[in-house]
Amino acid sequence: MRPEVIDTLAWDKQGGLLPAVVQDADTLRVLMLGYMDRAALQATLDSRYVTFFSRSRQQQWRKGGQSGHVLALVAIEADCDGDALLVRAQPAGPTCHLGRISCFAAAAADALGELDLLVAQRHRDRPPGSYGTRLFDAGVRAIAQKVGEEGVETALAAVAQDDGALLGEAADLLYHLAVLLRARGLSLADAKQVLAARRSAGCPSREEGDGGHATLA
């Protein structure tokens, strides 16, 4: 959000406050609902940590200021009426005071986004006994070979097995692909960005053979 947008928001509709829905930038899970006044929004933009206005305490507060479970700002946008905010952030720990990931217990999340975060954690921490640790320790070449094997198994399942087997092999392929990307310093999120760019250009996939791009039908 550009600073000049702040003055165009509908602050007068709700007594100088705007509801702010916070969404995990990686998993797309809705994390919480808070309220911002002008000062809290400006503090969020300046500090890059999500800051709210407490209606009960009548003061500004940075989420996670005491617990350390801050929300690192990724982006903010206003809705079409300028009277609500969507905040995308990366949480450092649980967002809910009950120790849950989200204040909404059953909030849905993108499974691939969660997988991406798990693989990143395995790559960083290398927990003993973890399959992911063994893969990362084996190196890019060995991981790439595993991706190739999983790709063949997925293709064979598509031809000769039932839907459940195909889906299981496809899930295995996605996992190993996430590991391979991470071993190269990349992620599934990066691949998603490429898909988004292609979609915007009207060409969501590569054309087989000549390296061009297929167009939308």
pLDDT of residue 207: 54
Q: Which domain holds residue 144?
A: 111-201
pLDDT tens-digit map of 16-61 = 999 999 999 999 999 999 999 999 999 999 999 999 999 999 999 9
CATH of the domain at 179: 1.10.287.1080
In the chain, how many domains are there? Answer: 2
pTM: 0.77
Look at residue 170 and tell me if it is in a domain: yes
Look at residue 216 and tell me if it is in a domain: no
Residues 33 and 85 in one domain: yes
CATH of the domain at 57: 3.10.20.810
Residues 29 and 70 in one domain: yes
pLDDT at 210 over 50: no
Look at residue 182 and tell me if it is in a domain: yes
Look at residue 155 and tell me if it is in a domain: yes
Residues 73 and 140 in one domain: no
What's the chain look like in SS3?
CCHHHHHHCCHHHHCCCEEEEEEECCCCCEEEEEEECHHHHHHHHHHCECEEEECCCCEEEECCCCCCCCEEEEEEEECCCCCCEEEEEEECCCCCCCCCCCCCCCCCCCHHHHHHHHHHHHHHHCCCCCHHHHHHHHCHHHHHHHHHHHHHHHHHHHHHCCHHHHHHHHHHHHHHHHHHHHHCCCCHHHHHHHHHHHHHCCCCEECCCCCCEECCC
Look at residue 76 and tell me if it is in a domain: yes
pLDDT tens-digit map of 109-148 = 999 999 999 999 999 999 999 999 999 999 999 999 999 9
